[in-house]
Amino acid sequence: MDAAALAGNAHLSGTIDYVTAFDAIHDQTRPLDALKGVLSLLKPDGLFSMVDIAAGSYLSDNKDHPMGTFLYTVSLMHCLPVGLVDGGMGLGMMWGRQRAVEMLHEAGFTRVDISEIPDDPFNLHFMCRI
């Protein structure tokens, strides 16, 4: 199913303990709806583990990023076009930590803990709770 269409599904609501998303939310045409859909799946003590790009939300945050040029190029050539399909939001992979946390809270997650991932310089782990 489309994650952006899950929020209204009474059959699946509150049935899942743990949901994961790996470098995927930034590619969604309706990322906020997808996050709300994930939230709707979770049991009251459920967890959402989101792995996404380790970058800031502003160009100035990333000017010294060792992979910045490469990541912006991939975002421009792949992630943005995918996210713009059917009038989508078009976040792109460089949506950044600040925007990710803002959207997670807007979707309804009340606690978001962010950690670096050992041996993975590309990504951060966002552990989200209701």
pLDDT digits (tens, 9 = 90+) for 20-65: 999 999 999 999 999 999 999 999 999 999 999 999 999 999 999 8
User: CA 71, CA 57: separation in Å to the nearest integer?
Assistant: 13
Q: What is the CATH number of the domain that holds 87?
A: 3.40.50.150
The number of domains in the chain is 1
Mean pLDDT of 106-128: 96
Residue numbers of the domain that contains 44 = 3-129
What's residue 59's pLDDT?
92
User: Dihedral of the CA atoms 104, 82, 42, 126 (nearest 10)?
Assistant: -40
pTM score? 0.93
DSSP string, 29-43: SSHHHHHHHHHHHEE
pLDDT over 90 percentage in the chain = 88
Mean pLDDT of the chain: 95
